[in-house]
Amino acid sequence: MTRLPHYAAMLAMAGVLPSDEQGWAYEAKFDGIRAIGYIEDDLRLMSRNDKNITAAWPEIADIAPAAPRFVVDGEIVALTADGRPSFEALQPRMHQRNPAKIHALAKAVPVTYLIFDLLHIGDRSLIGLPYQQRRQLLEQLGLDGPHWQVPPRLPGTGADELAESKRRGLEGIVCKRLDSPYLSGRRSELWTKVKNVHDQEIVIVGWRPGTGRRAGGIGSLLMGVRDATGKLVYAGGVGTGFTDTMLDALQTRLLPLQRKTATVAADVKDAVWVEPELVGEVVFAEWTGDGRLRHPSWRGLRPDKSPREVIAPPLQ
């Protein structure tokens, strides 16, 4: 049997609700780790930046074996008691590679693989089919297990579903054209994400030492993003949203990355600069006119994303 073909995730563009309701379907936007799942004799999970992350999520393994074999796209999430995804709860599991600790965390913070697209089945690629047909085929597979499921499509209008997502404290919705093919590895407005919050991926370029209760550790992180030319530029600092555990883990990761000079132009006199290798995510109020993030709050590291992907939106 030949190896299943490789598929890269199709990415949604940020935007607004469609002006016409006809021709669109709506799904909840999940706050987790994107993963392409290859299910045959065993499960193989590949991250958005094409890393094998199967070992980190052992509770999903029982989705295999499968006949016929298939490939799906979905999001790994940690659900709270009221059914909301918690990105913070995923953080201790993202970087863990010790098998004993992985299995202990899987019991303490179990995850669910929320599957929203079917890319391949048997020996047939489905990515050229319209979304509506792929979704119908996916629902026919009956993927409903203890740690995986196919979340329902949202039945209301875009405006109603966006309002409901905000009421429930969710991140937003994704609008998908019914006739959309699956554009592997591409970002397209055929999938449009509409959010209730502003968030931004950032590259950690340094930190400022803490004072008071944070003395001896990290006080705030210094952020960078790439501009339209691909140049890494300073986007300000973030000093809120951290737990003590997060700060300790960040310091452990950042200490080996220290460097003497900055990789961005920033007038920060007490900075400890680092190689721009780690990607994180913040929520924020707005972009300022000089390209800084206003009132950012830390959400967590994004090991599934590469520093070269972190691009600032055009300033309005």
Catalytic residues: 29
Tokens of 41: 């004799």
Per the DSSP assignment, residues forming a β-bridge with 76 are 33, 113
- Which residue do the tokens 């913040």 mark? 282
Q: Are 158 and 169 in contact (CB under 8 A)?
A: no
- Which residue do the tokens 């008691």 mark? 81
Q: Using CA atoms in the order 115, 117, 121, 125, what is the torsion angle rounded to 10 degrees?
A: -150
Q: Are 78 and 103 in contact (CB under 8 A)?
A: no
Q: Round to whole Å and give the CA distance between 111 and 93.
A: 10
Output the CA–CA distances (angstroms, integers) from residue 62 to 47, 54, 141, 148, 276, in the order listed. 19, 12, 15, 9, 37
